[in-house]
Amino acid sequence: MAAMRVPRYPAVASSSLPYLTRQQMEHVDHLMIDVYGIQLLQMMENAGRHLAGLARERFLEGTSVGRHVVALSGHGGNGGGAMVCARHLANWGSAVTVALTRAPEALSGVPAHQLEILRKVGVRVIHAADLDQDLCCDLVVDGLIGYSLSGAPRGTAADMIRWANAQDAPILSLDTPSGLDVTTGEVYTPAVRASATMTLALPKVGLKAPAAQRFVGELYLADISVPPSLYRRMGLAFGPIFAEGAILRISPP
């Protein structure tokens, strides 16, 4: 595989950032929706657009045209973010396949809304059972399981993790590699071995656990429009961390 270029993103030291547990991130989401009126659809769009931009610049050599991408999508918020990423990459000229853990009719809420958009714009959508072991791609996007992971991945999600790890292509994970507990840092079996992870809002405690490092890969942080005042409500005070860019590269802990 040809060497991938490493684009320049503003760097931030791991030690300069607060790291959140699963419970704290759930509280962030609650405040975003119920207090600030920033809905999941908006957060998901921000996350997916930034993920697509990072995918293009870091793993597709700066252009999406003619590139083949497989996006693995769970049924929750991470899956919706992966679908947004897939839509943007398709808009930019990539041949994109979205593989779902569940049948389309089993999706609901915002992920179902994102799936309907994919259908309307003509992005190829398949079920996990139709993933071909010989399917060639330039990048795998991991949007299977986010911070809500509880125990080892099972069933279809576990099969898709194993499929991703068996590919020669790099893997870009959204928020956390699927199979990693974001609070404890425990790496379950199976877990995605990501080339890079783009986490959201603030990094999660489990991402800096020593055992997690070879699964997280390069760590990036993306802005999903969390107001600084929200963090102050949680007792977290720090400056505007995205002043230099919407995506930051976090140095190793």
Q: What angle do CA 174, 176, 179 make, to 5 degrees?
A: 120
| Parallel, antiparallel or unpaired: strands 124-127 and 11-12 | unpaired
Q: What is the pLDDT of residue 185?
A: 96
Q: What is the pLDDT of residue 5?
A: 64
Rounded CA gap, 103 and 125, in Å?
10
Average of per-residue pLDDT across 160-178: 97
Residues with Cβ within 8 Å of 37's Cβ and at least 6 positions away in sequence, in order, are: none
Rounded CA gap, 232 and 226, in Å?
11
Structure tokens given for 179:
């199979």
Q: What is the pLDDT of residue 135?
A: 79
Average of per-residue pLDDT across 201-207: 97
User: What is the secondary structure of 26-72 as a DSSP string?
Assistant: HHHHHHHHHTS---HHHHHHHHHHHHHHHIIIIISTT--TT-EEEEE
Helix (H, G, I), strand (E, B) or coil at 237: coil
Q: Delineate the domains of the chain, giving CATH numbers in brackets.
A: 11-250 (3.40.50.10260)
The percent of residues above 70 in pLDDT, for the chain, comes to 97
Q: What is the pLDDT of residue 231?
A: 96
Average of per-residue pLDDT across 78-86: 98
Average of per-residue pLDDT across 97-126: 96
Average of per-residue pLDDT across 1-25: 84
Global pTM reads: 0.95
The region that residue 93 occupies, defined by phi over 0 for left and psi between -120 and 50 for alpha, beta otherwise, is left
Average of per-residue pLDDT across 45-63: 97
Average of per-residue pLDDT across 186-196: 98
Q: Is the pLDDT of residue 1 over 50?
A: no
